[in-house]
Amino acid sequence: MGIAGFLMNVEPRAEDADNPLQWVLMNPVLPDYREFEARFGVQICTGWGMTEIGFPLNASNLPNAQTCGKLSPLYEVRIVDSEGRDLPDGEAGELWIRGKAPFLITQGYLNKPEANAKAWRSGWYATGDILRRDPDGYFYFLDRANDYLRVRGNNVSSLELEGEVRAHPAVAEAAAIAVKAADVPALPGNARASEDEIKIAVQLNGSAPLGEGDLVDYLAERLPRYMVPRFVEFVAELPRTPTGKIRKAGLREAPVNAATWDRLSRSVPAAT
Share above pLDDT 70 across residues of the chain, in percent, rounded to a whole number = 95
Strands (E) located in the chain: 23-25, 43-50, 54-60, 70-71, 75-80, 93-99, 120-121, 124-133, 139-144, 149-151, 154-156, 171-179, 197-204, 231-234, 261-262
Confidence of residue 108 (pLDDT cuts 50, 70, 90): very high
Q: Which residues contact 242 (CB under 8 A, 6 or more apart)?
A: none
pTM strictly above 0.95: no
CATH T-level assignment (fold) for domain 148-262:
GMP Synthetase; Chain A, domain 3 (3.30.300)
CA 45 to chain CA centroid, nearest Å: 20
pLDDT exceeds 60 at position 269: no
Q: ω into residue 113 within 30 of 0, thus cis?
A: no
Give the start-to-end residue ranges of the domains of the chain: 2-146, 148-262
Given this chain, do its domains 2-146 and 148-262 carry the same CATH topology?
no
- Cα–Cα distances (Å) from 132 to 135, 152, 207, 210, in that order, read 10, 21, 37, 35
Confidence of residue 251 (pLDDT cuts 50, 70, 90): very high
pLDDT tens-digit map of 193-214 = 667 899 999 999 999 899 999 9
Region 67-79: mean pLDDT is: 97
CATH T-level assignment (fold) for domain 2-146:
Rossmann fold (3.40.50)
Confidence of residue 190 (pLDDT cuts 50, 70, 90): low
- For strands 70-71 and 93-99, give the pairing: unpaired
Cβ neighbours of 175 (radius 10 Å):
23
pLDDT tens-digit map of 78-103 = 999 989 999 999 999 999 999 999 99
More confident residue, 23 or 187: 23
